[in-house]
Amino acid sequence: MESVFSNYLRAGYPALWYLTNEEQRAIEVLSKQIPEYRIYKWDTASMLQELKWTANEDGEEELTQVGRQEIESQFEIFPSILSLPAESVVFLFDFHVYFEDITIKRMFKTILKGLKASDRHVVFISPVINIPVELEKDITVLDFPLPTIEELKNLATEIVKQNNLTIDIPDSAIKAMKGLTMEEAENAAAKSIIENRELNYESIEQEKLQMVKKSGLAEIWTPVSMNEIGGQKPIKAYIQKRKEGFFNPSLPTPRGIILTGLPGSGKSLFAKAVASVLGFPLIKGDFGTLKGGIVGESEKNMTRFTQLCEAVAPAVIMFDEGEKAIAGAQSSGKTDGGSTANMFAQFLTWYQETTAEIYVVMTCNDMDPLLDFSQGALLRRFDDIFFMDLPGKEERKEILAIHKKKYNSDLDYSKVDTSGWTGAEIEKMVKNSLFDGVEIAASNIRPIAIQNKEKIDRARDWARYNAIPANEPDSVENGKGKRTLKM
C-alpha cells in the first residue's frame, strides 16, 4: 500500500478516491508515507486544517493540527486548494454527498489542470463511491485495506497493557477480529474482556456479525444440527471430509456445493446443517435483495456484499433457489439494461478469485438456467453438484423418527405408506396428525413425485450422469419400486 499511494502522487495523479470507513486511520497511514508533502484535511465541521506529525509528551508521534482556515462551504474548497503551497495533499471527507451538484462537478473539472501543474493532489475518503460519470476518467479509485493480523495483535496487546491485565491473546481471537475496522476491533476486544475476562473467539465473532445486520444486504441464519436430517449419508460424509480443508493448511480450501433435486427433499435444511458441521456462521444471501432501482446501484450492492463476506469469513454463504436469480440475469438486457447480469458477473469473478474462507452452498430446483447461463460458468466455480432424491425406506424411517421427536408425537404411524414422499411431506403429515389424526393427515398428502412426475424424471435422468447422489444408492425409490442410481 505504501508504494502504491506514493507512486500515484509521484506519477502526477491529481485525484484519488479511497473507499473506507476508517477516516482517521486512513489519513494517518497514508500521510506517513509522503513526508515530503504538506498535509491538509477538510470537512464541513472542522474546516480546512493543516496537519503535521509531531512528538507528544511520551515521545510518540501523532498527527496534530498546525493551522486552520475558515472554509465551511463545499463550494469554496476547490478554489482554496489552488492557493495552497505546491506539493500539498488535501484529504476530503464526506464529499460523496456533494457530487450530485452540477456546480461542484464543474468546479472540480476547472481545478484539475492547476492540480497537475503544481503537484497538488486531492484524496477523497469515503465509505461509498459516488463518482459522477463526467468525472470517472479524472478520479482513480483505490481500496484502503482493513487492519492486518499483525496490526490487530498489536491493538490487543496495547489494550491488555493499558489495563494492566494478565490474560493471553489467543490466535483464534485475533483471527476473529479480521475484517473489522480498528475501532470495531477495539470495541469487540473490550467487550469480550469485560464479559469473559478474556479475549474470546465466540464473543468477538458475535460482534463481527453485527456488520451483517447493519448492512441490510444479507441475513444471519441459525445453523441446524446434522442430527435433524434423516438419511443422506453420502453427502454427510462428504461435508465431514471437506471440513478438514479449512483447518489443515496442507489441503486445498473447499469452495462450495450446489444442491439440486426435488422440492421438499431437504436442500435448504442441509445448507443450514453445513454451517453447523464446519462451525461457521451462516449468512443468507439473496440476489434479489441486492438489486437496486437506480442505475449502478445493483453493482455497488454486490461490491459491498462481497466485501462483507470477506470481512465475516470464515463463513457459510447460502443462496436459496439460485435458478431464479440466474433467470433474472439472463433476461437482464431486456428488463434492467443489463444491471442484474453485471451484478452476477461481479459475483462470478469474486467467487473465482477470492482467497477468503468462504463456503458457498446454493440450492436449486431446476438446473436448466444454471446450465444455460454463460455456458455453465457458475457451475465451474463449485466443487461438486449433489442431487437430492426421494428418501428410501430406511431414510424415511429416520425422518419420521426425527419429526416424531421434534413435535413430541406418540401417535402410531406404522400403517402409513410413505413410499414416494419427500422429507417435507413426512414432516407435514406428522404436524397435521396432531390435529386431524394419522389417517386423515396421511390421506391429505399429495406427493410432489406424482404431481410433477415428468419434470422429476427428467431431473433424475440428468443427475444420473452429472451429479453425485446425496442419498444412499441402494435406497432411492420413486414410489413404484426401488430405483438404484449409478455412482
pTM of the model: 0.77
**Would you tell me the crossing angle of helices 74-81 and 102-118 to the nearest 10 degrees?**
20
Distance CA 361, CA 319 (A): 6
pLDDT on residue 338 = 65
> Could you check whether the bond before residue 263 is cis, i.e. omega within 30 degrees of 0?
no
Cα distances (Å, whole numbers) of residue 470 to 93, 234, 377, 442, 447: 53, 6, 23, 26, 20
β-pairing verdict for 38-43 and 88-93: parallel
pLDDT of the residue at 102: 93
CB 361 within 8 A of CB 274: yes
Residue 122, pLDDT score: 96
Residue pair 138/113 in contact by the 8 Å Cβ criterion? no
> Distance between CA atoms of 246 and 252, rounded to whole angstroms?
8
| pLDDT mean for each 10 residues of the chain (487 residues) | 81 93 92 93 91 84 89 90 92 91 92 88 90 90 88 89 84 84 89 86 82 84 91 94 93 94 89 93 87 68 86 90 74 61 85 91 85 74 92 92 95 92 94 95 90 85 91 59 32
Q: Which helix (H) or strand (E) holds 39?
A: strand 38-43
Q: Please report the pLDDT score of residue 375 as a whole number.
A: 66
Tally of CB atoms within 10 A around 413: 18
Residue whose C-alpha cell reads 456445493 in the numeric block: 257
